[in-house]
Every structure is written in C-alpha cells, then in structure tokens.
Amino acid sequence: MSAPRRFTGDTLVIASHNKGKVREIADLLGPYVANFTSAGELGLPEPEETGTSFIANAELKAKAAAAAGHVALADDSGLVVPALNGDPGIYSARWAGPAKDFAMAMQKVEDGLAEKTDRSAYFVCALSLAWPDGHVETVEGRCYGTLVWPPRGPHGFGYDPMFLPDGHGLTFGEMDQTRKHEMSHRADAFRQLVERCFR
C-alpha cells in the first residue's frame, strides 16, 4: 500500500454550497491551509449524489470540485440506524424533505422504531480529499450512541436532539457545541485526515 499523499498547496476548495459547513471546515483546517474557497464561490455545479455509500458520495463531490484545478475536500455524513436496515443513512438529509424539516425526519425515524427494541445508532462522516489528477485520499469517522424520544435540546442540527452519544447524559442537541465538536463523527474524521494528509 502506498503512503498517503500530503496536501502541499496553498488553496483548498471546500466542495459545498453550504456557507455554514464551509466556515466549519475552514475553522478546523485553518492551521494547515493558507487559503480557502468553496464550490459555491467558484460557481461549480453540485453533482448528483449517486453513490451507494458515504465514501462514494464524498469522493464523487471532491473529484467534481477538483476538476476546477485545485485540491478539493468534500464530506458526506448522516445517521445510521441498524434497526431500520441502516436508514436514513446516505438519505439522512433527504428524509427531511425540500424544506429541511428535521422534526419530521426525526418523527419518521421514531415511527420506524415503534416496534423495535434496538435503539442503537451512529453518525458517520466520510471526508474525501481529491487532487486535479484524480488521486483521492478518504477517511471515515463515526460516533456511536442511542436514540431517545422525545428529542431534547435546542442546539446542533439534523438528528442531534434525538442522539445520545455513548457514555454521556446529554444529547447532541443539549450539549455545548464545543464539546460536541470534540467528540463527533466529524471530529473523528478530521483527526484522521489531518494525521494522514496535513501534518
């Protein structure tokens, strides 16, 4: 197996049109990268996510953005519920519909668990770094927990208010966001990526 490729450029394209996500990623990688831009700022189209896994979708988005000539980073993340055959999984955002109604999405998950005893779940974050020549480095982070009902807490987003991480008494929705970011699936993935490509 060849050694991982290091990021040596000065500009990184974050393959997203979501300004909040772009800011969050730029904060996390700030110490290692001189300049950031985003797919949104470059006017790049959002590719259709046709992959069947988080990794496949992250790689697809990163490669599409890297075609513009800079190294690009993409993420794909979601909630996996084993008792629901892994749903919502890669469709986590789609379960919330066009209006991004995550109260509805959480209710959908809860309805699916009505007759089930297994309420375990985990968040996944795949991060993919792609170079214009087609080379890709990808990592996947996870955070395990249990789903609670009713949802608790005003913080975070998505399914955070119903996700109770293992070993903790507060949901991601109740938790101080700095604390959540230290232990989340995204933090796990970024630790791996920094170690692999940015140190």
Domain boundaries, the chain: 11-198
Q: What is the pLDDT of residues 108-130, one digit of tens each?
A: 999 999 999 999 999 999 999 99
Tens-place pLDDT, residues 9-53: 999 999 998 887 888 889 889 999 999 999 999 999 989 999 999
Q: Is 158 annotated as a binding residue?
A: yes
To the question of whether residue 134 is assigned a binding role by annotation, the answer is no
Nearby residues of 141 by Cβ (< 8 Å), 6 or more positions away: 124, 125, 127, 184, 185, 186, 187, 188, 189, 190, 191, 192
Tell whether 70 is in a known binding site: no
Class of the domain covering 11-198: alpha beta
Alpha helices in the chain (DSSP H): 19-29, 54-66, 102-113, 177-183, 185-193
Of 10, 75, 76, 166, which is the active-site residue? Answer: 76
Is 76 a catalytic site residue? yes
Which residues on adjacent β-strands are paired with residue 128? Answer: 74, 138
Spatial distance between the Cα atoms of 103 and 55, rounded to a whole number of angstroms = 26
Any binding-site annotation on 38? no
Across 99-114, average pLDDT: 96
**What is the DSSP secondary structure assignment for residue 94, as one 8-state letter?**
G
Give the pTM: 0.92
pLDDT > 70 in the chain, percent? 99
Residue 16 labeled ligand binder: yes
Q: Give mean pLDDT, residues 65-84.
A: 96
* pLDDT reported for residue 1: 62
Query: Residue 137 corresponds to which tokens in the numbers above?
Result: 């480095």
Tokens of 183: 């232990």
